[in-house]
Amino acid sequence: MKILVSVILILITTLSYGQSLQSTSKTTKKLKAAEKKEWHNLSLKEDKVYGTSANRVYSEILSETSPKKKIVVAVIDSGVDIEHEDLSESIWTNTGEIPNNGIDDDQNGFVDDVHGWNFLVDSSGQDVIYDNMEATRVLRLSKQLNETQKPYPEWLTEELLRQAADIYNESMEEMSGLGQFSMVYKKVDSTVKAVTGKEEYSYEDVKNIEAESEDVKKAKRVFAIFKTIGIEKSDLHEMGMQADKYSEYWLNFNFDPKAGMPLTGSNYGNNNYGGKHAEHGTHVAGIIASTRGNENGAQGVAYGSAEIMVLRAVPDGDERDLDVANAIKYAADNGAHIINMSFGKGISPYKDLVYEAMEYAASKNVLIIHAAGNDSEDIDVVNNYPNDDGLSEKSQTSFLCIGALSPVKNKKLVASFSNYGQESVDLFAPGEDIYSTLPGNKYGFRSGTSMAAPVASGIAALVWSLHPELTAVQLQQVLLESGIEINNKKVLVPGTKEKELFKNLCNSGSIINAYNALSRIKTL
């Protein structure tokens, strides 16, 4: 986002057509329309993209046999639209709970947790939609302790304060840039609406405006730049809204939606599974288990093999460590086999709570799959939480960190936004232009390691459903050892113009592949 905002501001300032930048969506133009929507399921040999070969598993293996076991994938995220036409039959159900009777029938500590649980609530039990960045919370606590002359807790070190300040200041700069962009966009948007008389207009409408006032000329040039870059009007609106979110929620010291909540325990929450902020989680869930073959839209990687356990713990802002730890423990205690975590942050004050929960999940034979992050950073050097740094060596073998691929085979194979790390990132998976479900029976393309992680979770579920005799540790090893190896291919390092061997961007030097994984199991 920071790079994109900088580019836009420069272009708007100069009104230059000198450099043509390719948008995310343009990278799939060479694929046919149907292939664009499921390139992550395709195969290198047959379809010429670094997909996962999931479709090949369905056509060659699942056409002759059926999954031996349903794999429960806990999606710790912002919530899921469990009534979506393409997801409803793939939602996990807690059979020990009688719906809506107000009783904890299975005595697991959660009342009416039929499809999972929501830890995103405030002290009055109301749902939390927005929250601060973690840096904001750390700096606010430091300020409060200084004012009351109370001692710092052990975890609030000078180093953590420095990291929080750096993150906060960088975010302030980005908010300022987005604010400038928003002002420019609002001005040209107002001009176009006034001239065309349309609230909803296209780039073509703008191009065809015949008026020649200076305001109109500027608006036409600015929108021409947006079209050249490949930014949709919805993106423009979203960027403007993001500036407001920084100001009102993410960086606002006076906004603390979970004030008064306990710092320990799990006795809070409700069974609201969707809600206002469920777009991200619904997209993630659809990648894993949306219905295949019904012509509705998305094609789940592990449809028929996976069930989605819904765990809300990720707000519009940074997730809280206690919520994440409780969601992990809930998943482990209630039958999840895989936990998908498509979220992350640069500092984690109570990371020991999360590590403890991850250790517990590993002891229950659960595989955890985490997104590497979208900051174009080397996370061997820059912190990205949760990670496996604080886990025992044994538990690290039940954890995978996933980077994102684009749908091209050239030097831009690694998505430009993806984090990487020769030690920290385990595998890469398709993560750019991934088509999946959105709330309200809608569909759309989204990009991020948030999409790459559920692709990997889907592959893990698909393989495990056919070979339930495997342990989480064995499955992790199979996935690592069976990927498409492209060790010696040179690719652009995300966020730079420098080339590097692919094997130096992740520890396996490979791309996750379902068919290869199943073939690997046969040789063991």
Q: How many CA atoms lie within 13 A of 354 on its CB side?
A: 24
Q: Residue 513 is encoded by which pair of tokens?
A: 């592949």
Closest Cα to residue 329, out of 309, 359, 367, 349?
A: 359
Tell me the one-letter amino acid at 140.
R
Q: What is the pLDDT of residue 179?
A: 81
C-beta separation of 127 from 121 below 8 A: yes
Q: What is the pLDDT of residue 25?
A: 45
Q: Which helix (H) or strand (E) holds 465?
A: helix 449-466
Q: Which residues have CB under 8 Å from 194's CB, separation 6+? A: none
d(CA 259, CA 490) in angstroms, rounded, equals: 49
Indicate if the pLDDT at residue 391 is higher than 70.
yes
Sign for the pseudo-dihedral over CA of 79, 352, 124, 164: negative
Q: What is the mean pLDDT of the chain?
A: 91
Indicate if the pLDDT at residue 19 is higher than 70.
no
Quote the Cα angle for 286-357-368, to 5°: 35
Q: What is the pLDDT of residue 474?
A: 97
Indicate if the pLDDT at residue 7 is higher than 70.
no
Q: Residue 75 is encoded by which pair of tokens?
A: 């999606």
Domain 38-131+268-523: top CATH class: alpha beta
Q: What is the dihedral of CA 488, 460, 343, 87, to 10 degrees?
A: 130
C-beta separation of 345 from 318 below 8 A: yes
Q: Residue 432 is encoded by which pair of tokens?
A: 């750019």
Residue 176's alpha-carbon distances to 251, 272, 447, 513, in angstroms, are 12, 35, 24, 42
Whether the bond between 494 and the residue before it is cis, its omega within 30 degrees of 0, is no
Q: What is the pLDDT of residue 66?
A: 94
Write the pLDDT tens digit of every residue in 244-294. Answer: 999 999 999 999 999 999 999 999 999 999 988 899 999 999 999 999 988
DSSP string over 141-152: HHHHHHHHTPPP
Q: What is the pLDDT of residue 450?
A: 97
d(CA 512, CA 40) in angstroms, rounded, equals: 10
Write the pLDDT tens digit of every residue in 358-390. Answer: 999 999 999 999 999 999 999 999 999 999 999
d(CA 221, CA 512) in angstroms, rounded, equals: 43
C-beta separation of 417 from 374 below 8 A: yes
What's the pLDDT band for 15 if we cut at 50, 70, 90?
very low
Report helix, strand or coil for 357: helix
Write the pLDDT tens digit of every residue in 163-199. Answer: 999 999 999 999 988 888 778 888 888 998 999 988 8
Closest Cα to residue 435, out of 288, 287, 289, 230?
A: 287
- Pairing of β 116-118 and β 442-446: unpaired
Partners of 306 in the β-ladder? 71
What's the pLDDT band for 28 if we cut at 50, 70, 90?
low
First to last CA, the chain: 44
d(CA 184, CA 15) in angstroms, rounded, equals: 12
d(CA 364, CA 366) in angstroms, rounded, equals: 6
Indicate if the pLDDT at residue 5 is higher than 60.
no
C-beta separation of 454 from 288 below 8 A: yes
CB environment 451-465: b (16+ within 10 A), e (fewer): bbbbbbbbbbbbbbb
Average pLDDT over residues 418-431: 98
- Pairing of β 116-118 and β 306-312: parallel
What's the pLDDT band for 43 if we cut at 50, 70, 90?
very high
Write the pLDDT tens digit of every residue in 285-322. Answer: 999 999 998 877 899 999 999 999 999 999 999 999 99
Give every strand in the sheet of 71-77, ordered side by side: 116-118, 306-312, 71-77, 338-341, 367-371, 399-405, 427-430, 510-511, 484-485
d(CA 69, CA 305) in angstroms, rounded, equals: 7
Q: What is the pLDDT of residue 24?
A: 43
Q: What is the pLDDT of residue 21?
A: 23
d(CA 204, CA 196) in angstroms, rounded, equals: 11
What's the pLDDT band for 31 if we cut at 50, 70, 90?
low
Indicate if the pLDDT at residue 162 is higher than 60.
yes
d(CA 502, CA 412) in angstroms, rounded, equals: 11
Average pLDDT over residues 153-162: 96
C-beta separation of 480 from 508 below 8 A: yes
d(CA 437, CA 298) in angstroms, rounded, equals: 6
If one compares 54 and 15, the residue with the highest pLDDT of the two is 54
Q: What is the pLDDT of residue 178?
A: 83
C-beta separation of 371 from 386 below 8 A: no
> For residue 362, which phi and psi values (nearest 5 degrees)?
-60, -35
* Range scoring the smallest mean pLDDT among 8-17, 97-106, 117-126: 8-17
> For residue 510, which phi and psi values (nearest 5 degrees)?
-145, 170
Domains of the chain: which residue ranges? Answer: 38-131+268-523, 134-250
- The alpha helices in 15-133, defined as continuous H runs, are 33-36, 44-47, 54-60
Q: Which helix (H) or strand (E) holds 404?
A: strand 399-405
* Range scoring the smallest mean pLDDT among 1-15, 88-102, 293-307, 337-351: 1-15
Sign for the pseudo-dihedral over CA of 325, 330, 336, 340: negative
Average pLDDT over residues 203-220: 85
Q: What is the pLDDT of residue 200?
A: 87
Q: What is the pLDDT of residue 435?
A: 96
Write the pLDDT tens digit of every residue in 479-514. Answer: 999 999 987 899 999 999 999 999 999 999 999 999
Indicate if the pLDDT at residue 447 is higher than 60.
yes
Q: What is the pLDDT of residue 238?
A: 77
